[in-house]
Amino acid sequence: MKPKNFAPAFLLVLVCCANTYAQTRSAGIGIRGSYWNMNRDGTLLRLENSYDHQFVDLAGGGAWLNFLSRTSASWLMEFSLGGLAKTVERVSYRDREDTHVLAVVPVLVGMRYHLLSPRNSGALRPYFAFGAGPYWVADILVENYYDRDKARVESELFAGGYLGGGLDFMICNWFGLNFDVRRHFVGFDTHNEHSGYEYGLGLQFMWGNYRPERRERRERCCH
């Protein structure tokens, strides 16, 4: 960036950050990446080599899209759509390679409760979260031969839920970073092989102005 263009950009950032806490936003969207540590395996990476085959086990990584809608000064409704892929096993033989992949697609509806007042002047906003919804799990085995491929897919749908907490670090009133930890209960069972802790990091974009005094006036008029 040229020096003559730096000053206007810097002033724009100052104006944005100076207005960071002047408004409580009413809606938002978030994108996040995560690592899901399932009960079935707690290792991040496992490699095994022998005379006739190679074994690789990779941990699960996922991506999420979150939609937020404020229901009160401290509560937000959250709709989450996620996708996780985990290479459970990859084995190379002399004549073929077998790849065993686990895919999980959760569709969750939940709530966030911010622990601090929305009028708080700090950039850090911790919250508690919970929700529930369906978890679609697909078990995929692909056998790669020299002259052909063979695939087998088995899927199952579970009901489940999650509990967790997180922290929003608001850089401006419309943009921030998000860190969170969730404990997923697939099948509402802590011992389910797909249950476990998930660790996420993402970006959050907010818009709209939440005006509780208008909502209160509408509720009084309705009654």
Write out the DSSP string of 167-188.
EEEEEETTEEEEEEEEEEEETT
User: What are phi and psi for residue 189, nearest 5 degrees?
Assistant: -135, 120
* pLDDT at 148 (0 to 100): 72
> Distances in Å between the alpha carbon of 17 and those of 1, 10, 58, 118?
21, 11, 41, 16
* pLDDT at 172 (0 to 100): 86
pTM: 0.76
Would you say 80 and 180 are in contact if contact means Cβ atoms under 8 Å apart?
no
β partners of residue 83: 63
Q: What is the pLDDT of residues 95-142, one digit of tens each?
A: 677 777 888 999 999 999 999 876 666 788 999 999 999 999 998 887
- Tell me the mean pLDDT per 10 residues along the chain, length 223: 54 48 78 86 58 60 93 93 82 73 92 83 88 94 74 89 95 92 95 90 90 54 52
